[in-house]
Structure 1
Amino acid sequence: MGNRSGLTGSYSLALRATALANARLEDPADVWVLLADQPWLRDIATEADLHTLRVAGHRLREVFQTVTAGHEREAVDRLNGLLTRYRVRPTISGTYAGDWHIHVAAPGTPPVEYLAAAVWGLAVWLCQRGIDRLGVCAEPRCHNAFLDDSSNRCRRFCSDRCATRNHVRAHRARRRATPPLTAARRSRTRSAVSNGTRTLTAKIWQLHTMGNCADLHRHSATDHPLRHPRAASPLC
């Protein structure tokens, strides 16, 4: 298999490990989904390979969960166990000057080699980018594993969809928890605006009957409650 290691190569292999951690792998159809970008490998996968991939995926998921729980040493031990179980044979390969790269191979069937390269890539990426880059989605209905490639290491969700869903739920919860006092305050504000409008109308009518156009324009420009800075928002 042409698996290249390095920062870019290890990221693609680490993504493979993440996909394995999230895969259900309950039947051969799930293997087809997992290996959609590897049709030649998908076509030769056996029931034994399905079992191997399922067990390894479960153990990879435990690595992500252990990191999220704050047990970094345990997570490293788990990943080291996978490296021991699925050993790789890294070799330098290339076809022309400047193309030298690490080629990751492993003993066993092609699906096992695929798995071993994924474990290797996750280990390399962890050491290069930091163990805190491994996460589990904070959306309660998801919990997918993900790699945090953000610039400030603050990612909490596996996708924009999960982030939006979580934020919408939190917003609705805050609205339901709004105390009655806020609603009463809004009612008082609307009442104050209404009273101010009636007062302004009375002033305009008084000025109109007195024929004082200068004062009429001055009050129209400054006294309307919707133009007054304190009444600009009904939520203030």
Structure 2
Amino acid sequence: MFRIFPAGKLFGDNRWAYYHQSIGGYTPIKMYVIEELVEKNIYKGPDKNLPINWNVLKILNVKYVVLQGRVQSPYLSLVNTNAAQNWLTYRFNGFLPRAFFVGEAKIVKNEFDRLKLINSANFDPAKTAIIEEEIRAGMEQPDSAWTRLTAFNPNLREFEVYTDKPALLVLSEVYYPPGWKIEIDGKPVKKIYKTDHAIQSVVVPQGRHTVVMRFEPDSYYSNIRLAWVSVGIIYLIIGSVFFQMFRSGKPQAG
């Protein structure tokens, strides 16, 4: 599972979302943290000839970059050429999976400072997570750890994970507590940390576990319950009307 990055003039074209998960495309409704991370920082890399911020690509699970024109970079490997459209597809060599473990967390509460650190060549999302508050549970740098995606649909992600020490599992899905709910081995996770400005993470105990993410917005289920209550009230009113009509039309004894 991965995302793609159509760069430059290709970024706003929604065709890339056809059968792919793209960090580009146009929508009039954008989450602020994603707009800040992607549209305002993705071209703040250190190389003036190819100023892509590779840290943003790592954070957002980007595996392929589509460019108009040939480039040279240690971060990119050419894998496909579309001569008719002048599109070149490159594999991003710094690709990080949708879920990965880190052993270090850095607390940065100020938004400007967070983005400044993400834009720094000294920061590596594969090793360090940027969070906004102190982690309540203990975490260490694992010597052995892996993750595997076992189920995926628009509202669910399921992972099998292993870590030989308690560690922070970074999940490359947008941080949205009213929507995303996370379970470890069937038990709800009480604390989800906003990570790397836009995504999320949870502390996972030592050992092998099943981590499940479900998108279950509280407002959606509240509206569903309200709708059922409203339907029930309507049926009660209709039933009451028919009952009164039946009583008024029934002949009186005697």
TM-score, normalised to structure 1, is 0.27
Whose helix proportion is higher, 1 or 2? Answer: 1
The one of the two structures with greater contact order (alpha-carbon pairs below 8 A, sep at least 6) is 1
The structure that has the greater radius of gyration is: 1
TM-score, normalised to structure 2, is 0.25
Whose strand proportion is higher, 1 or 2? Answer: 2
